[in-house]
Chain A
Amino acid sequence: QKEVEQNSGPLSVPEGAIASLNCTYSDRGSQSFFWYRQYSGKSPELIMFIYSNGDKEDGRFTAQLNKASQYVSLLIRDSQPSDSATYLCAVMLLNNNNDMRFGAGTRLTVKP
């Protein structure tokens, strides 16, 4: 089993819809979870992180964490064409070095 798994997609949603991106992880001791956005040909940029069970909202983005189910998701409300990118889920391991493991990414396309 991979340490971090994401739906490979691609995911396509119409403009204005809600995009839902999902991620599961295998290390039950993991405490910190991150979502990165990566535009084609660019490097990943951090858009959200979450530590506690429940929801965390930042503008149009909501991260959801369920540690019991080892599941983290990212919702994008009112999706825009500029949200079209690959989204990487990352999990920080419980060690002294803040090591992270990345999912393979989900490609999202928002159609005008």
Chain B
Amino acid sequence: DVKVTQSSRYLVKRTGEKVFLECVQDMDHENMFWYRQDPGLGLRLIYFSYDVKMKEKGDIPEGYSVSREKKERFSLILESASTNQTSMYLCASNSNYGYTFGSGTRLTVV
């Protein structure tokens, strides 16, 4: 069974902290994505990557960065967490058969 694993289900961080969200997939997929999801706003693409060491900005990259040092791992970094980054974060990888999502990380910034 294909799997996308996000390291944390729930996180609480303080304003100004540097936050790392980790995502690992075991499907050997080239493409990986980070979304955030907020009530009424749907899925919004933050960053994506089509290959190791490669990254592209999505629709809302401000305040975020990413790292893809290995094919299976795609990390989202909040350089200085702010309260408006409180959200559900979803990682995904894709194939011809659509996206597979991780279980999500609900991040609260206080």
Q: With an 8 A cutoff between CB atoms, is B43 at the interface?
A: yes
Report chain A residues within 8 Å CB of B42.
88, 102-105
Q: When the two chains form their complex, are residues B100 and A42 in contact, meaning their CB atoms are under 8 A apart?
A: no
State the CA gap A14–B42 with chains docked (Å). Answer: 26
Chain B 88-110, CB-CB to A under 8 Å as 1, else 0, gives 00100011111111111010000
How far, in whole Å, are A46 and B100 apart by their CA atoms in the complex? Answer: 8
Q: Are B95 and A98 in contact (CB under 8 A)?
A: yes
Which residue of chain B has its CB nearest to the CB of A8? B40
Count of chain B residues near A, Cβ 8 A: 20
In B32-56, the 8 Å CB interface with A consists of: 40-43, 50
Closest-CB distance, A107 to chain B (whole angstroms)? 10
Specify which chain A residues have a CB less than 8 angstroms from the CB of B96 in the assembled complex: 32, 98
B31 at the interface (CB under 8 A from A): yes
Q: Is the CB of A97 within 8 A of B98?
A: no
Q: Is the beta-carbon distance between B90 and A102 smaller than 8 angstroms? A: no
25 examples of A-B residue contacts, CB within 8 angstroms: A32-B96, A34-B98, A42-B104, A43-B90, A43-B101, A44-B43, A44-B101, A46-B99, A46-B100, A49-B97, A49-B98, A88-B42, A90-B99, A97-B94, A98-B31, A98-B95, A98-B96, A100-B94, A100-B98, A100-B99, A102-B43, A103-B42, A104-B40, A104-B41, A104-B42
Binding site for B on A (CB under 8 A): 32, 34, 41-46, 49, 88, 90, 92, 97-100, 102-105
Question: Which B residues fall within an 8 A CB radius of A?
Answer: 30-31, 40-43, 50, 90, 94-104, 106
Known A-B contacts: A97-B94, A98-B94, A102-B42. Give 5 more (CB < 8 A).
A46-B98, A49-B98, A88-B43, A97-B30, A104-B40
